[in-house]
Amino acid sequence: MRRVVFLTAIGAALLPGWRRQNIEPERLPEDPVLAAMASARWREHLASEERERKLAYDRRKLEDHRAALAILRSARKSYDGANTRQARMENDARSTVAELRQLALRIDRWGVNSNLLDDYAAMSFSLGNDYPRARIAAIGGNREPLAELQSSWDAREAKIVAWLDEAERADDGR
């Protein structure tokens, strides 16, 4: 009758003639190029997963996002149509900024789930600070600052609209 003996590493160390390499298979050498490629693919996968997660989150908050965009568009339209001086514009900006802040909290209380909060914050800051000054300067004849702000604003608004369109078509992740 033949006996089969399974040896642990400690048991093998105690038996003469047995060496550790007989028990554990030899490891293959690591290829640094392949390791870097695998790591890059993994990072791409994680970035794709994060994008899908944020799209699904913003899809669930579409109504609030559309309300925020409507507030921003309305505020800009009132500034662009204003022909008076600073007092009226600053009062409008304060109420709009406060309303946007509350809406942003309702969209994403922790500030990590929505992809649009940075854009809302930048546009809100612009409404409260730069936009009224640039509009007043434009009324006085200097249109350059307003043109720069309008260009930046248009780019952010286009980004928001594109993201919301994509979120609307995305799976909500549930």
Establish if 103 belongs to a structural domain: yes
45-55 pLDDT, tens per residue? 999 999 999 99
The reply to whether 57 falls in a domain is: yes
- Per-10-residue mean pLDDT for the chain, 174 residues long? 54 56 66 92 96 94 95 87 64 77 92 93 88 85 91 96 94 63
What DSSP state is assigned to residue 2?
P
- Residue 167 · residue 58 · CB < 8 Å: yes
Decide: 114 and 57 in contact? Cβ < 8 Å: yes
pLDDT in tens, 6-28: 555 555 555 555 555 555 566 77
Answer whether residue 69 is part of any domain: yes
Q: Which two tokens stand for residue 108?
A: 């994403």
Instruction: Indicate the residue type of 1.
Output: M
pTM over 0.75: no
pLDDT of residue 65: 96
Angle at 58 between CA 158 and CA 128, to 5 degrees: 55
Give the type of residue at 2: R
Q: Is residue 150 part of a domain?
A: yes
Overall residue count recorded for the chain in this entry: 174
In a domain, 174, yes or no: no
Looking at residue 87, its pLDDT comes to: 47
The answer as to whether 127 is a domain residue is: yes
In a domain, 155, yes or no: yes
Taking alpha carbons only, the member of 173, 161, 155, 97 closest to residue 129 is 97
25 part of a folded domain: no
Q: What is the pLDDT of residue 135?
A: 85
List the domain range (segments joined by +) for residue 108: 32-169
Domain tally for the chain? 1
One-letter amino acid for residue 68 of the chain: A
